[in-house]
Amino acid sequence: MELKKNPRADVGRNSSLYFAVGLNIMLLFTYFGLEYKTYDKMLTETDILMLNEKLEEDIPITNIEIKPPPPPKTVVVQTIQVVEDVAEVEETILESTEITQDDVIEDVITVEEVDVEEVEEDIEVPFAVIERVPTFPGCKGSNDELRSCFQRKITEHLQNNFQYPEVAQNMGITGKVYVFFLIDKQGKVTNIKSRGPDKLLETEAERIISILPKMIPGKQRDKNVSVPYSIPITFKLNRN
């Protein structure tokens, strides 16, 4: 005959449930134990005592004294006494110094004769339109002949007095220099200016023009006038 166990008599059938409930209860007690705080009663009573003492202190009453306003200023009323004039005062009459049409001018100012000097204007007439071109020494004939002779003599003067700067030769400097000058009313060459590729060439071109001889000045309406003139001078090296 087999023995049968009563399921109600099995002690270990709900052991896992009991274990979980017990574990949760222990965790709950542990949490409350960690979160529980205690305070020192002596410190609490001291704080309450000190707070009561501060509240019971008397606050002193401050009295603000306000000064009374200053008394109003007294206004002194002066009385004016009228005194009769004893001495008579003579009035001064101011006469105007302006002259009107009714006034007669007795003094007559005479103006002496003034010498007026005539200043001749320095008129410049271009070489192409002047009535009488400047005459180069040795030129004769009509105005057209004088013009052709002037240009030929200028070319001969440049060929006879031309000197190529040595420094410019060594450096191989070449080019064309335009020289501008003025033949004034006395026939002298003045106001020489030049424009070229290098200062050495410009200096030589101005030197050649500066030694031009004195000429017979050009004329316009039978009066001596200044005549501007320009000429190009070419500097060229002949390489053999």
- Per-residue pLDDT tens over the stretch 30-88: 888 887 776 555 555 555 545 455 545 555 565 556 566 677 766 555 555 555 555 56
What does the DSSP 8-state code read for residue 238?
Answer: -
pLDDT digits 0-9 by tens, 172-195: 999 999 999 999 999 999 999 999
Distance CA 186, CA 216 (A): 7
**Is residue 201 over pLDDT 90?**
yes
How do the domains of the chain map onto residue ranges?
Answer: 143-235
Per-residue confidence (pLDDT) for residue 223, from 0 to 100:
92
Per-residue confidence (pLDDT) for residue 35, from 0 to 100:
79
3-state secondary structure of 209: helix
CATH 3.30.2420 correct for 143-235: yes
Q: Are strands 223-225 and 227-235 parallel, antiparallel or unpaired?
A: unpaired
Between 143-161 and 199-210, two packed helices, what is the crossing angle to 10 degrees? 130
What does the DSSP 8-state code read for residue 224?
Answer: E
**Is residue 103 over pLDDT 80?**
no
3-state secondary structure of 230: strand
Q: Are strands 189-195 and 175-183 parallel, antiparallel or unpaired?
A: antiparallel
- Predicted TM-score of the model (pTM): 0.49
Round the CA-based radius of gyration of the chain to a whole number and report it: 65
Are the CB atoms for 182 and 134 separated by under 8 Å? no
Question: Confidence class of residue 135 from pLDDT cuts 50, 70 and 90?
Answer: very high
Distance CA 174, CA 198 (A): 8
3-state secondary structure of 218: strand
**Is residue 228 over pLDDT 90?**
yes
Per-residue confidence (pLDDT) for residue 181, from 0 to 100:
95
